[in-house]
Structure 1
Amino acid sequence: MIALSLRDIADTVDGVLHLPAGEADPERLVNGSVQTDSREVVQGSIFVAKPGATTDGHLYAPLAAERGAVLLLVERVLDLPVAQIVVADVVVALGSLASTVVSRVRSEGRLKVVAVTGSNGKTTTKNLLREILERVGPTVAARGSFNNQVGAPMTMLEVTHDTAYLVVEMGASAVGAIARLVGLVRPDIGIVLSVGLAHAGEFGDLDATVRAKSEMVTELLPTDVAVLNADDPRVAHMSEKTGALVVFFGEYGNAMVRATDVRASRAGTTFVLHLTSGEFRPVTFRVLGEHHVMNALAAAAAAEVLGVPLDIIVAGLESVQRAERWRMEVLGGRDNVTVINDAYNASPDSMTAALKTLAQIAEPGSRTIAVLGEMAELGSLAGEEHDRVGLLAVRLNISQVIVVGQGARRMHISTINEGSWDGESAYVDTADEAFELLRTLVQPGDTVLVKSSNSAGLRFLGDRLGDLFS
C-alpha cells in the first residue's frame, strides 16, 4: 500500500484512532501490506479484523500483532499494544481505504484501471490481461478469484505510485454488488464477458443477473470504454445502457475484435486475432477449450484500447499455459492418458463448454470419460439443469459418465434414461469411490474430464488422477 499516516487512514475510513501507551504520533506513516488473514501478516502490515460467517477476525488480532502488524482496523477496541482504528463496519472501511489509495495514485496521471465481470471467465480473462500488461508496465491484478466486497479492495490496496495498470475482477451474488465495487475504483475500461445461470439461485432469476452485470457499464463516463461480448445478446444489449465508447468482441456479428479460423485440440486452440485497427495475427493459445478464446478476445480488446501493440498482445496470450489452478488444467500424460481438472467452478454454461471440449479434443477411436459433480447455487433451476447436462453427455457420445454425490444424482438418472446403452453411466457417493472406480476403468489413450462446483470437492480428485497418470 502507498504510505499514509495513521491520522489520514482514520479520516479516510471515518474511524477513531486509538494509539497505544507510549505512542503519541498520529502522523506516523504506514505502508505495509493489508491482510485479513493473520497468518499472512508480516512486519509492518495492517490487519483488518473482519467478522466472518463462522469466526471473527478480532479473535486473531493478537496473532497479527505478534507477527508484526502495526495497525489494526477493528470494530471494537482491543487490549493490544498496537495502534487501532475503530470503525462501524470494517468491510465498508476497507473499501473506503482502497478507493482512496486508487484515487490518489490515479491523480498522478499514470494509472489505468480495467474491471472484469461475467458469469464465467472472469479469472481467466484477468490472468490473460495481466500477462499482456506486465509486458508494458507495472501491473496489479487480483490473486486467485479475489472478486467480492473484500477481495476486490484487497487487490486495489496493492497499488503503488509505480503501478501503471490495475485489473480488478468483480463478482456478485446480488444486484448492487458490482455497482458498489465500480463506485470504489471507477474503471477506465469495463469488461462484461457473459450472462448465464451461474449463481442463479442467489440472484433469483436471469433478469436479475443481467441487471447485476449491467452495473459494470451503466456508470462509465463518455471518456471510458465498455468492452462487450457481441456473441451474447444479453451482454451486447448493454451497449444501450452505457454512455461509454463500446468495443465489441466475439467470433460473429458486429464484433470489432474477433477470432477467425478457430481450431481446438489437446494442445490448445489456434485462431487468427483481428483488432479494431485492422491488424491481424495468428495465435497459438495453449489454454484448453475453444470457449476460452472469448476470454482471450476480451483481454486483447482491453489491451488494444490501452495502446498495447499487437505483437505484445499475442506474446502475452501465447505465454499462458492454463486458465488457472483447477480450471481446464491439463494433467496426466502417462500411457497417453489426459486428465482435465476443471472442478473449481461449474455452471450450466461452463459444464456445457467443458463437455463439448472433451468431445472435441479426443483423438479418433479413443474414449472420453466425464466425472461430474454438483453445480451449486442454481436454486429452483438445479434439477432441470442437472438433467440437461446428463442429456448433453449422451448426445455428445461421451464414452463413460461417472456422477459423484447426491447433489448431482439427477445427471446420472437423466443419462440412463436418455442413453441406449448399459453401464456407460455410473453413480458413486464420494470422490474416494470415484477414484477407486477410475483406477480400474481408465485405459491408455483415454481423456478424462473432472468437472464440478468447488463445493463438491472434485478438484482434489482431479489432482489425484493427475498424479496417478503422471
Structure 2
Amino acid sequence: MEKAERPVLMPMTLKQVAQAVHGRITPAAAKGGLDLPIANVTTDSRQVGPGSLFVAIAGERVDGHRFLGQAAEQGAIGALVSEEQADADLPQVVVEDTVQALGQLAASNVERRRALDAPFTLVAITGSVGKTTTKDLLAAMLAKLGPTVAPVGSFNNEIGLPLTALRVGPDTRYLVAEMGASQVGDIAYLTSIAPPDIAVVLKVGVAHLGVFGSVERIAQAKSELVRGLRPHGLAVLNADDERVAAMAQLAPGRVLRFGLGGAERPDDPGLDMTARDITTDDLDRPSFQLEARGERPVAASLALSGEHNVMNALAAACVAHELGLPLEDISASLSAQGRRSPHRMAVSQVEEDGARFTLIDDSFNANPDSMSAGLRALASWKEPTGGQDGAAQAEPYRVAVLGGMLELGEGTMDLHRQVGALCVSLGLDALVAVGGERGQLTDMAGAMVEGARRASAAQGSKHAGMRLFQAPDTGQADRFVRDLASGHPGCVVLLKGSHMSGLDALAERWQSGRFGEQQ
C-alpha cells in the first residue's frame, strides 16, 4: 500500500475534485485548503493520512460518514460525502452518490494523465478465473519497462477499480487493472471510467451463473471489455475458449491470440503466444517452452504452482511482449514472480499442535472452473523422498478442505456433487467439506460429500479409501485436518471455497504459526 504522505495521483486540489464530480463545496471549505494538493484518495478511514481525500461510502454494515471526525484528526484535506456532516471540522464536497463520484474522479485522473505529453498504456483484464494472477504476472513484467500501477488483490469492482486508477500519477507508464462483473453492464461501466488501450479476456466460465442466468450472458458481460476499448485498441484473447475467441469480431483494432492450441481449422489465424512441452515439478510448478509467433522458443518456468497458471502466464506474456519486453526477460520474470496477492495457490509449511503439513492456500474465492484447477493441482503434488539425486518422489497424503461455491443458480447442488466426484476420480485421500454458518453453505457441503460417496460406490474398491468429513465450521475443519496430518507425514492440504465459507481466515490462522519460507 502506498504511504499516505506520498502523492500517488495527478496533481489535484479540492476545488478541482468538486469540479470533476459536479459537487457542492460546504462552507467549512472557505476556511482555506481549497487549493492544497491532495496526496491520495481512500475509502478506509484507517488509511487516511496527511493530505488524504476521504470518500465516505454508506455500506450495508458501516457508513463512512461516521468517520469524518477521525479522518480530520488523521490529517485529511477533505471528504467526499453524500450527506453533509455539519459537526465535522473538515471541508466536504457534497454529491448525490459518492460511489458514482469516485468513478468520475478516477476518470478525470486517467484523462489528466493521458493529456500529458508522455506515453501511457492502460491494460484491463477480465475473465471468470485467473484475473488476479494474470494481473500480478503482467505488472511484474511491465515494471521492467516503466513505472507500473496495479492493485494488490482483487480491486476489480465499482470501488476498487477507481481507487486503483486514482493511484496513476504523472510518472505512471502502465496501469494494469482488473475488471470484474456480477451482472451485464458492470464492465461497461468500469471501461467508462478507465477505457483500456489493451483488453485481455481469459475465460468464460460459470462463476456467478445464478446471477447471469446463462453462460451466454456471462460471455456478453465479458465481451464488454472488448467493446470498451479505445479506438484502435488491442484485444488479447484466449484462443482455446471459443466464446472468448469469438470476441475478435468486436475488436476495434488488432487482435492477438494466446493458448495451447488444439484442432486447427482452415481459417485458424494461429497463436501469437503459446507454450509447448509442459511439465511440472514435485510442487506442481510448470516448466515449458515459451513461443511467440515468428520467434525461437525460450525455456520458461513458473514460480507458481498449478498447471492451469500456464494460460495466465501466456496472457501476461502476450501483452508484455507486444509492449516491447523480450521473451528472455519474460521468462526471467515468470520464474521469479511468486504470489503477490493473498490466498491464491500460496504454498507454505504449517505446524500446529505437532501436526505438520504443506498448505496450498487458494481460499480467496471459488467457482467450478477454479475449484477443478485447484483440485487437479493438489492431485499432481509430489513430495521429495530425500534421495541423493533429488529425483525420487513420494505420493503425499492429499486433503481437500472445500467450502461452498455461491451464485451458481439452479444447478448449484449438482455442481457441488460433481466437485465431490472429482475428488474421488483424482484419487485424493480425504475431503473435508465445510458448511459454514449459513444453511445454503451447509447444503453445499453435504452435496460434495454425497457426490463423493456416489462416485466411490460407482467406481469400486479402488476409490473406496477416500475419507469423507463434513465440518459445520472452520474450527471443526481445523481439528479434522490436524488429526489427519498427525497420522500422515507428508500431508498436503488444499483450502478452496467462496469467501463466505471463511476458509481464508482459517488459512491466516494456520499461517500465523507457519515455519520456513513461502514457496
TM-score normalised per structure 2? 0.86
* 1:424 equivalenced with 2:467 (yes/no): yes
* 1:354 equivalenced with 2:374 (yes/no): yes
Q: CA deviation at 1:280?
A: 2.2
Say which SS state the counterpart of residue 58 (structure 1) adopts: helix
The residue type equivalent to 1:240 in the other structure is Q
Q: How many angstroms apart in 2 are the aligned matches of 1:336 and 1:263?
A: 28
Q: CA deviation at 1:222?
A: 5.1
Q: How many angstroms apart in 2 are the aligned matches of 1:223 and 1:21?
A: 43
Q: CA deviation at 1:336?
A: 8.1
Contact 2:43 2:55 in 1 (8 A): yes
Residue 25 of structure 2 corresponds to 17
Say which SS state the counterpart of residue 312 (structure 1) adopts: helix
Residue 291 of structure 1 corresponds to 308
Residue 153 of structure 2 corresponds to 144
Residue 240 of structure 2 corresponds to 231
* 1:339 equivalenced with 2:359 (yes/no): yes
Q: How many angstroms apart in 2 are the aligned matches of 1:232 and 1:344?
A: 24
Residue 440 of structure 1 corresponds to 483
C-alpha distance after superposition, 1:104-123 (max 9, x if no partner) = 11121321100011111111
CA separation of 1:301/1:89 partners in 2, compared to 1, >3 Å: closer, same or farther? same
* 1:415 equivalenced with 2:452 (yes/no): yes
User: Alignment partner for residue 404 of structure 1, among 420, 434, 450?
Assistant: 434
Residue 198 of structure 2 corresponds to 189
Residue 115 of structure 2 corresponds to 107
What does residue range 66-465 of structure 1 map to in structure 2 within 5 Å?
Answer: 66-79=73-86, 80-108=88-116, 109-221=118-230, 223-253=232-262, 254-267=270-283, 268-322=285-339, 324-332=341-349, 337-363=357-383, 364-405=394-435, 406=442, 407-419=444-456, 420=460, 421=464, 424-442=467-485, 443-465=488-510
C-alpha distance after superposition, 1:211-261 (max 9, x if no partner) = 100000013245211011111111111112222211111111432201111
Contact 1:38 1:63 in 2 (8 A): yes
Q: CA deviation at 1:317?
A: 1.6
Q: CA deviation at 1:195?
A: 0.8
Contact 1:19 1:82 in 2 (8 A): no
C-alpha distance after superposition, 1:142-193 (max 9, x if no partner) = 1211110010000000011000001111111110110111111111100011
Contact 1:431 1:458 in 2 (8 A): yes
Contact 1:375 1:408 in 2 (8 A): no
Q: How many angstroms apart in 2 are the aligned matches of 1:67 and 1:24?
A: 18
Q: How many angstroms apart in 2 are the aligned matches of 1:324 and 1:67?
A: 28
Deviates more, 1:418-427 or 1:265-274: 418-427
Q: How many angstroms apart in 1 are the aligned matches of 2:28 and 2:67?
A: 18
Q: CA RMSD in A?
A: 1.9
CA separation of 1:32/1:21 partners in 2, compared to 1, >3 Å: closer, same or farther? closer
Say which SS state the counterpart of residue 28 (structure 2) adopts: coil
C-alpha distance after superposition, 1:34-64 (max 9, x if no partner) = 0101110001000001111222111111111
CA separation of 1:17/1:192 partners in 2, compared to 1, >3 Å: closer, same or farther? same
The residue type equivalent to 2:195 in the other structure is R
Contact 2:152 2:340 in 1 (8 A): no
Contact 1:332 1:468 in 2 (8 A): no
Q: How many angstroms apart in 2 are the aligned matches of 1:289 and 1:25?
A: 52
The residue type equivalent to 1:20 in the other structure is A
CA separation of 1:423/1:392 partners in 2, compared to 1, >3 Å: closer, same or farther? closer
User: How many residues matched?
Assistant: 469
Say which SS state the counterpart of residue 57 (structure 2) adopts: coil
The residue type equivalent to 1:2 in the other structure is M
Contact 1:373 1:458 in 2 (8 A): yes
Say which SS state the counterpart of residue 256 (structure 2) adopts: strand
Q: How many angstroms apart in 1 are the aligned matches of 2:332 and 2:356?
A: 29
Deviates more, 1:307-316 or 1:115-124: 307-316
Contact 2:306 2:377 in 1 (8 A): yes
Q: CA deviation at 1:464?
A: 4.3
Deviates more, 1:57-66 or 1:317-326: 317-326
CA separation of 1:21/1:418 partners in 2, compared to 1, >3 Å: closer, same or farther? closer
The residue type equivalent to 2:497 in the other structure is S
Q: CA deviation at 1:322?
A: 2.4
C-alpha distance after superposition, 1:186-214 (max 9, x if no partner) = 11100011111112222222111111000
Q: How many angstroms apart in 2 are the aligned matches of 1:412 and 1:222?
A: 51
Say which SS state the counterpart of residue 398 (structure 1) adopts: coil
Say which SS state the counterpart of residue 248 (structure 1) adopts: strand
Q: How many angstroms apart in 1 are the aligned matches of 2:502 and 2:56?
A: 28
Contact 2:68 2:90 in 1 (8 A): no
Q: How many angstroms apart in 2 are the aligned matches of 1:21 and 1:43?
A: 17
C-alpha distance after superposition, 1:54-110 (max 9, x if no partner) = 221111111111111111111122222322111111111111111111111112132
Deviates more, 1:457-466 or 1:206-215: 457-466
Identity %: 41
The residue type equivalent to 1:194 in the other structure is K
Q: How many angstroms apart in 2 are the aligned matches of 1:25 and 1:94?
A: 20
CA separation of 1:327/1:25 partners in 2, compared to 1, >3 Å: closer, same or farther? closer
TM-score normalised per structure 1? 0.95
Q: How many angstroms apart in 1 are the aligned matches of 2:403 and 2:68?
A: 38
The residue type equivalent to 2:124 in the other structure is A
CA separation of 1:336/1:320 partners in 2, compared to 1, >3 Å: closer, same or farther? farther
Q: CA deviation at 1:469?
A: 6.7
Contact 1:338 1:448 in 2 (8 A): yes
Q: How many angstroms apart in 1 are the aligned matches of 2:148 and 2:168?
A: 8
Contact 1:36 1:47 in 2 (8 A): yes
Q: CA deviation at 1:319?
A: 1.5
Contact 1:41 1:68 in 2 (8 A): yes
Contact 1:274 1:280 in 2 (8 A): yes
Deviates more, 1:414-423 or 1:392-401: 414-423
Q: How many angstroms apart in 1 are the aligned matches of 2:98 and 2:126?
A: 24
Contact 1:258 1:273 in 2 (8 A): yes
Q: How many angstroms apart in 2 are the aligned matches of 1:192 and 1:138?
A: 24
